[in-house]
Structure 1
Amino acid sequence: MSDCPAEKINKLQADFMKINFSIRYHDGSANFNGLNMYYGADSFGGMSEVVALTTHAIVNNEILKQTPSTKGFSLDFKESHEGSFIQKFVLEFTSSDAISVINYLSVEGFMELLNFHISSPLGLNPKITIDAAKRWFRSYMEDSEELLDRLARPLERIHHPVSGQGYQVTLRKSRTPILSFSESTLDYLTGKEVSDRSEELIVAVSRFNARTGTGRFIENEDADSVSFSPPKAGIPQRSKRLLANSLRALVDDQFLPVRAEIRRVLSRDGRTKHYLVQGIYEI
C-alpha cells in the first residue's frame, strides 16, 4: 500500500540523502538580458567542480585531481527554469559510507562545511557552528587547505558571467540563498599582493597539517581564522611541535598562543588573505 508506514520512512530517508540546489544568474552591475552560452556553460562547469570536489573531500577525506573520480554520491541536472536563468541540480548520496557521514554530520552540518570551503577563498569567512561539523573538520579534513587551493580555478570559472556580462550568480539550497558570486568576490579571489614587511603576531592554531606545514591561525577565540603556509625550506620539527601543541590546546578549549613571524598576502582592498610563515617561536 502506498501509505504503508515503512514506505513512508524509506521515502523520508531517501529524501534526506538528496540536497536540491539551484544556481541563478541575475542582475549585477548590468541588468540581466540573457545568459551567454559560453559564459554560462563555463560557470556551471565551475560550480559542478566546486560542489563535487568539496563533497568528495568531506565524505571521503581525499583531495582529487580529477572531478570524474568522485565517489559515494551523484550530481545531476534537474528540470530547468523559465525566465531569468535558473538551473536546478541535485546532490544525492548513494554509497553506504557517504550516507553514514551525512547521518553523522546532518544535512545542516554538511552544508556548513560545504559553504565554508566555497566561501573562504571569496573572503566571506562563514563560521562552522554545528558540533558534529566542527569535530569532522578538525579530525578528518586535515587537507582542507589543499582543497581550498584546488577550488581556486573552478571558483574563477563560476564568475565568468560576472566578468563577461556584468551579472551576479547566486547559489541556493532549494529556495534559500547560500552565497552570491559578484564583482567583489571575484576581485578578492583573483587579486593579491605580498607584503615586503615581516611582522610578528601572537596567535593560536585552529588547523595544522604537519605533513604540508599548512594550517590556520586565529588571533583570539572569536576571530576569523586565516590560512598560513610554510617557507620553502619547510617548518623545523620544534616549530611543528609548537603548532601542534597550540592546536591540541584549542581542541580542549584552551588558548595556547605562539609567536609567528609572517608576511601578509593582501587582497586589493587591503584585507589579509593568507600568511606566509617565516618562523614560529615559543612565548
Structure 2
Amino acid sequence: MNDSLPGYAERLDALHQALAADFRAIIARLPWREHESILDPGCGDGFFTGLLAERLPRGVAVGLDTSTAFLEAAEARLAEQIEAGRVRLVEGNVDRLPFDDATIDGVFSAHSMQSYPDLPHALREFRRVLRAGSTLAILETDNVHSIMLSWPPDLELAVRQAEHREIGDEDSYIGTYFPRFAPRLLAEAGFTDLQREYIFIERQPPVGEALERYVELYLKYLAEQTSGRLDAAATARLAEIGDPRSKRFLPRQANFFFGSLQTLITARA
C-alpha cells in the first residue's frame, strides 16, 4: 500500500518547531518517573515521542501510529534514541492497542482525539493497558480557541463562521472539542481524579521563521476550508494576509499576536 504523509504534516511540524519549548515544559510537569515506559499513541512524526524520551532518561517512550509514512519519519527523527533503547516505534491502532493489560506506566496523547472514529473505545483501550494507579495525560485544544491571531476582527468572524458552519452532531465533534467533554468521557472509561489545566501559549514580534511558516500554512488551510463560503472580498483579504510576499503578511505586522490555548488533562487509571 502506498502510504504518504498527510497534507497537514508540514503545517503540524512548523507548529511543533515554533512551540517546542512550551511543549517540552508541559511534558516536564507530568508525574512520571524517569525509568518508566510511556505510550504516545498517534505519535505521527515522533515529535512528542522525542520530548517524552528526554523526560525518561532511564525509561522508554513508545510511539504508536497506523501510518507507515509517519513511522518512517519518526524513525529518522529519533534514530539516536532508538539505537540507545530509549524510544520504540510500533505500528498499531487504538482500536486494539498491541499491548497486554496493565503493562504501560503512562499514556500521553497529544492533539489526537479528533482522529479516533470511536473515541470512548480508544479511552477504554488506554485504561486497559495502563497499570493500576498510573497516569493518562491528554494535551488538546478546543477548536474554537485553538489558534488566536491579530487579524482584522470582521475578517476573522467571517472566516470562523464559514469554517464552523456545519458542526454535525455530538458524536462527530466530541474529539474536536474534547476538553468540554473530558470529565464525562474519562469517567465512563473508568478513570478517576481528573484534573484540567489551561495553558496559554503566546508569541509577539519577532516570532521567527518557524511560526511565520506555520501562520502562512494555517491561513492557506483556512482558505482551502472556506473556499466557496466566503465572499470574494474576504477571500482576497485572507489570501493577502497569508502571503509572505505581501506587505500585509500577518506575522510581520507591528501589532502581530499569536496565541494558542492548550488544555492539559490528567486522570488516574
Q: TM-score band (shorter)?
A: under 0.3
TM-score after normalising by structure 2: 0.28
TM-score after normalising by structure 1: 0.27
Which protein, 1 or 2, shows the higher relative CO under an 8 Å CA cutoff with sep ≥ 6?
2
